[in-house]
Homo-oligomer: A and B are copies of this chain.
Amino acid sequence: MTDYFLNRASVRTFTDKEVEPELLDSILTRAAKAPTTGNMQLYSVIVSRNPEMRSRLAETHFNQPASKAPVILTICADFNRFTRWCELRKADAGFDNFLSFTSAMADAIIFAQQVVTVAEQEGLGTCYLGTVTYNAREISEILELPELVVPVACLAIGWPAAEGAPSERLLNSGFVHQEKYRKDSDEEILDIFKIKEDYPANAAFAAENNKENLAQVFAEVRYPRGMNEDFSVRFLELLKQKRFI
């Protein structure tokens, strides 16, 4: 048990072996026992197996390697189903607002992470596609998502073609605070990130990208300001279109 959590790693390449529908169904059943806001289960999952659908989705994820997995799960914050039920029961459903979106997003991510844990313990490989919020509008169109349904997590799932390598992580002292948020000095901040800067693969990463250091790779190559700002506008527009703002 301890070993699983300490040694787990995301997997980005998969074999052609089928993820049996019965196994996936059993994973989703177990994952649905994860906590959920007021037991409302404010999420939906769209299972993509069809090659053409997966290819269209992969494009929205910039065709990153993991997007070629045999199964793609798009997990959505969903207040549509719950709202329709309320309306049918003559209840005044007031969930077309941002607070409700954050509750549904939390539910969806909790569920997604439980899918990861259960699936990995079955020997499957998984990887989040963090790009899900970037092209959320296009994903929304491909999957025909209605009002009050917004994709917030995407998982690639399959049988591993190669083991994932566990990633280095910050020491607890870097992200755990006692009683109040600690005000770290500049030196302390640099000390927290030393573990990442010293990691051999990361040092090579800076050189490959013609940057001086790892922070510049993150801020200027992988997650540049212009891209973040552009996709922020688009995601907020989608939230408006879906009536969450």
Contact = CB atoms under 8 A, between A and B. Distances in A.
A149 B181 contact: yes
Contacts of A5: 30-31, 33, 114, 117-118
Interface string A169-206: 11010111111110110100110110010000000000
A220 B92 CA distance: 6
Interface residues of A, number: 114
B179 A213 contact: no
Interface string A30-72: 1111110111110111111110010000000000000000000
A39 B9 CA distance: 11
Interface of A: 1-2, 5-8, 10, 25, 28-35, 37-41, 43-50, 53, 78, 81-82, 84-86, 88-95, 97-100, 102-103, 105-106, 109-110, 112-114, 116-118, 121, 127-128, 130, 133-134, 143-146, 149, 152-153, 166-170, 172, 174-181, 183-184, 186, 189-190, 192-193, 196, 212-216, 218-220, 222-226, 228-229, 231-232, 235-236
Given A92-B225, A113-B113, 20 more contacts: A7-B33, A32-B172, A34-B113, A34-B116, A38-B218, A41-B170, A45-B176, A88-B189, A88-B215, A89-B212, A89-B216, A91-B216, A91-B218, A92-B219, A100-B223, A105-B106, A106-B153, A110-B113, A113-B114, A117-B117
